[in-house]
């Protein structure tokens, strides 16, 4: 039976992880879950972000379910670099999977886009690019200060994530992959991405392809999100585009994500895209749908496609029954979702 590590984290993290666990238990009884206390609270208490011993223990699990970490009281970068990115890199989670659907029942912000019309997934590279941490600075706090950030891209890293995107597209109805980069300015990395894309595309004659510059893609995500099926892109572009995709499909409150090591050599990690939302924490009003959809991605990755599909269907039922604007109660939503999923 699957062994899951749970990092509930800060703010609304614990509140939304609870329903996610309930739903997993409902569709796949017998999963064991071990809780790990990581995040802003632990950092403030002990100064620790991610002790090596905890990293080792996490490595022994089949997957990680994460709520949210972070708090305005922690300096920028400490938890991001020390915990979230550390896990993505240590566990070689090179596929950062972010599906976006405009669910029936959810009022999207776009006047011309109807529920059901948007169903895309961004396959964001997760272990390279500007996230490599290859930067530095000189002459800090003087007029001569200079700071650099370097985007590192390898054929190895680029090709494997593109391969994953094509494999996913091959299992979808529209079978289309859009590569997003900025080849006209970032000519070196852009050329590497474009050539790797062409090479993998040649192995998939059944998958349609297109290329867009990141600025154009950002625009088309707003004007015609329907046009996308699978989007593959680099780490930073993926960070930005997935938030736009979330925005046009009802907000990050509904957006799920997986940081996946497809070969299963290391545990994959699943987390809602929303953060710890300290402003509404502790009130029981956070929407657990993003966490529950992340749990569905987790189940799917562990080979329980059927259980995953039941969770996704439960979410569809829940959302279709909602009155736009009506407040949600975290626990009630969790109970309903668990009920729909087994029912």
Ligand X SMILES: CC(C)[C@H](C(=O)O)[C@@H](O)C(=O)O
| Cα 318 to Cα 115: distance, rounded to the nearest angstrom | 14
**176 among known catalytic residues:** no
| Cα 298 to Cα 287: distance, rounded to the nearest angstrom | 19
Residue of 94, 131, 228, 340 marked catalytic: 131
Burial class (CB in 10 A: 0-12, 13-18, 19+), 32: exposed
| Cα 98 to Cα 92: distance, rounded to the nearest angstrom | 17
- Would the CA dihedral through 220, 212, 89, 93 be positive or negative? positive
Residue 1 CB, shortest distance to ligand X, in Å, is 29
Nearest in space to 286 (alpha carbons), one of 341, 332, 339, 336: 332
Nearest in space to 288 (alpha carbons), one of 299, 276, 301, 272: 272
Give the nearer residue to a copy of itself in terms of CB position, either 51 or 107.
107
The three-class DSSP label of residue 251 is: coil
User: 240: which 2 tokens?
Assistant: 């930005």
Tokens 């879950």, located at residue: 33
User: Does 189 contact a copy of itself by CB under 8 A?
Assistant: yes
Residue 5 interacts with, from a copy of itself, ligand X, none (CB under 5-8 Å by kind): none
Q: H or E stretch including 3?
A: strand 3-9
Backbone angles phi, psi at 177, to 5 degrees: -125, 130
| Cα 112 to Cα 105: distance, rounded to the nearest angstrom | 16
Residue 144 CB, shortest distance to ligand X, in Å, is 27
Quick one: which segment of 98-106, 179-187, 312-320, 321-329 binds a copy of itself (CB under 8 A)?
A: 179-187
Give the nearer residue to ligand X in terms of CB position, either 92 or 239.
239
Shortest-Cβ-distance residue relative to ligand X: 80
The three-class DSSP label of residue 123 is: strand
- For a copy of itself, the binding residue among 29, 47, 136, 324 (CB under 8 A) is 136
User: Does 228 contact a copy of itself by CB under 8 A?
Assistant: no
Residue 186 interacts with, from ligand X, a copy of itself, none (CB under 5-8 Å by kind): a copy of itself
Residue of 211, 243, 266, 335 marked catalytic: 243
| Cα 153 to Cα 170: distance, rounded to the nearest angstrom | 25
Strands 63-68 and 268-272: parallel
Binding site for ligand X (CB under 6 A): 80, 84-85, 184-185, 215, 239
**43 among known catalytic residues:** no
Give the nearer residue to a copy of itself in terms of CB position, either 4 or 122.
122
Residue 174 CB, shortest distance to ligand X, in Å, is 25
Residue of 182, 228, 229, 340 marked catalytic: 182
**131 among known catalytic residues:** yes
Quick one: which segment of 30-38, 39-47, 117-125, 239-247 binds a copy of itself (CB under 8 A)?
A: 239-247
User: Does 208 contact a copy of itself by CB under 8 A?
Assistant: no
**182 among known catalytic residues:** yes
User: Does 44 contact a copy of itself by CB under 8 A?
Assistant: no
User: Does 226 contact a copy of itself by CB under 8 A?
Assistant: no
**266 among known catalytic residues:** no
Residues 6+ away with beta carbon under 8 Å from 336? 318
**Contact residues: a copy of itself, CB under 8 A:** 76-77, 80-81, 85, 107-112, 130-131, 135-137, 139, 141-156, 182-192, 195, 214-216, 218-220, 222-223, 236, 239-244, 246-248, 251-252
Catalytic residues: 131, 182, 215, 239, 243
């Amino acid at each position: 039976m699957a062994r899951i590590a749970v990092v509930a984290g800060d703010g609304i993290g614990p509140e939304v992880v609870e329903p996610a666990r309930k739903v997993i238990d409902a569709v796949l009884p017998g999963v064991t879950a071990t809780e790990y206390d990581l995040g802003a609270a632990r950092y403030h208490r002990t100064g620790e972000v991610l002790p090596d011993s905890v990293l080792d223990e996490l490595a022994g699990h089949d997957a990680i379910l994460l709520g949210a970490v972070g708090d305005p009281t922690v300096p920028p970068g400490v938890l991001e670099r020390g915990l979230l990115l550390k896990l993505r890199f240590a566990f070689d989670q090179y596929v950062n999977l972010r599906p976006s659907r405009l669910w029936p029942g959810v009022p999207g912000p776009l006047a011309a886009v109807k529920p059901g019309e948007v169903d895309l997934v961004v396959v964001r590279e997760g272990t390279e690019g500007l996230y490599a941490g290859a930067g530095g600075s000189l002459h800090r706090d003087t007029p001569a200060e200079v700071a650099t950030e370097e985007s590192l891209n390898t054929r190895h890293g680029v090709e494997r994530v593109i391969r994953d995107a094509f494999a996913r597209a091959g299992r979808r109805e529209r079978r289309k992959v859009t590569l997003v980069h900025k080849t006209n300015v970032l000519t070196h990395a852009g050329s590497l991405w474009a050539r790797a894309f062409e090479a993998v595309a040649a192995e998939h004659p059944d998958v349609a392809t297109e290329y867009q510059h990141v600025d154009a893609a950002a625009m088309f995500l707003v004007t015609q999100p329907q046009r996308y099926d699978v989007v593959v892109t680099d780490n930073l572009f993926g960070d930005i585009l997935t938030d736009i995709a979330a925005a046009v499909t009802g907000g990050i409150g509904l957006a799920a994500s997986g940081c996946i090591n497809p070969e299963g050599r290391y545990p994959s990690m699943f987390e809602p895209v929303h953060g710890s939302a300290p402003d509404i924490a502790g009130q029981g009003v956070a929407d657990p749908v993003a966490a529950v959809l992340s749990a569905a991605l987790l189940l799917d990755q562990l080979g329980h496609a059927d259980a995953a599909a039941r969770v996704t269907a439960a979410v569809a039922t829940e959302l279709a029954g909602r009155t736009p604007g009506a407040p949600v109660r975290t626990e009630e939503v969790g109970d309903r979702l668990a009920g729909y999923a087994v029912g």
